Amino acid sequence: MVEKDNSGKPRTGVLLVNLGTPDGTDFWPMWRYLREFLSDPRVIELSRAIWYPILYGFVLTTRPQQSGAKYRKIWNRDRDESPLRTITRAQAERLAKIFAGEPDIAVEWGMRYGNPSTASAIDRLTQAGCDRIVMLPLYPQYSATTTATANDKFFRALMKMRRMPAVRSVPPYYGEPVYIEALAASIDKHLAGLDVRPEIVVASYHGIPRAYFERGDPYRDHCLETTRLLRERLGWDEERLITTFQSRFGRQEWLQPYTDKTVEKLARDGVKSIAVVNPGFSADCIETLEEIDMEVRETFRAAGGRISSTSRASTTATKAWP
């Protein structure tokens, strides 16, 4: 994406970093991706002596098949890649077009886990003459499991460089007015296209273990503030827009209320139509396209909610189920 600038002028690189993606849906690509992801001590805070026997003895023998089956449901077959990679690339390309008239700015993208790696993106920027890099972790709300580990990977790559560029990491943007406005615009657009007005809108964020929050991770507070600001911008009350957390893993307690349990209860309580927005995801991915749009959708339907159609959109994905 980045072209070499021969002017000799200093250049600034803008590096977008997203979570990551497997290279394929078969066993070994999934195994490699899950091993890297679940070996990260920022993600799993158990000691290696306890966690590694579980990881290698059970998780990595069963989960690659299970996760691969889920990825196959949403896989971009035209490009033979996950939607997260497709969308993140498109975001970087669009940003590059915005800066097309600024020859001293270059744009690249990379992943915390999988390919293209963060290190390879840094290399492309430095090869293009960038002596300064602004790294943007694509997570609106901060968590040690996302923003911090993206920074860890970024700085570890820099540690191996003899000629290191000057760098800056962009802070979380959960309260930025332009971000809240983008969420509100996405919701307004999708709800305007529905024949039935959803009774409740669910803001579903990726969860983290409750213990991480209790140890000082600010993620839950950032999510609640995002919902509060969005509610304020839309002019809705606390019953119209609610917060839930999805994607829990393992047996420990995660942040509550859980998305799947919440939509099931809503349906059993007589709510017939809801919409789901995912404010914590910068691009559609396995958690929005498969977990929310398929699994949670079916949970709501099975409990009595009526579903006729679902709309999908990247960046601020809104799923509407009348």
Residue 114's pLDDT is 96
Q: pLDDT digit string (tens) for 22-63?
A: 999 999 999 999 999 999 999 999 999 999 999 999 999 999
The long-range contacts involving 301-307, CB below 8 angstroms and separated by at least 24 positions, are 301/267, 302/264, 303/263, 303/264, 303/265, 303/266, 303/267, 303/268, 304/267, 304/268, 304/270, 304/272, 305/263, 305/266, 305/267, 305/271, 305/272, 305/273, 305/274, 306/272, 306/273
pTM above 0.85, yes or no: yes
Bridge partner list, 109: 16
Domains of the chain: 11-20+80-169 (3.40.50.1400), 25-74 (no CATH), 177-321 (3.40.50.1400)
Residue 49's pLDDT is 97
Residue 275 vs residues 71, 109, 153, 268, 322: alpha-carbon distances, Å: 23, 31, 35, 16, 8
Classify the phi-psi angles of 20: left when phi > 0, otherwise alpha if psi is within -120 to 50, otherwise beta. left
| 75 alpha-carbon distance from chain centroid | 16
Tokens read off for 304: 């009595």
Contact 229, 180 (CB under 8 A): yes
220/212 Cα distance (integer angstroms): 10
Residues 6+ apart with CB under 8 A from 171: 142
Residue 134's pLDDT is 98
- Helix 149-159, helix 118-127: angle, nearest 10: 50
Residue 319's pLDDT is 53
Contact 276, 296 (CB under 8 A): yes
Residue 3's pLDDT is 58
Residue 196's pLDDT is 86
Residue 313's pLDDT is 36
**Residue 179: closest CA among 230, 108, 241, 109:** 230
Tell me whether residue 180 is exposed, middle or buried, using C-beta atoms within 10 angstroms of its C-beta: 0 to 12, 13 to 18, 19 or more. Answer: buried
78/16 Cα distance (integer angstroms): 23
**Residue 22: closest CA among 71, 88, 76:** 71
Residue 317's pLDDT is 45
**Residue 293: closest CA among 278, 315, 272, 273:** 278
Q: pLDDT digit string (tens) for 134-146?
A: 999 999 999 999 9
What is the pLDDT tens value at each position of the chain, 322 positions in all?
A: 665 555 567 799 999 999 999 999 999 999 999 999 999 999 999 999 999 999 999 999 999 999 999 999 999 999 999 999 999 999 999 999 999 999 999 999 999 999 999 999 999 999 999 999 999 999 999 999 999 999 999 999 999 999 999 999 999 999 999 999 999 999 999 999 988 899 999 999 999 999 999 999 999 999 999 999 999 999 999 999 999 999 998 889 999 999 999 999 999 999 999 999 999 999 999 999 999 999 999 999 999 986 533 334 333 444 544 4
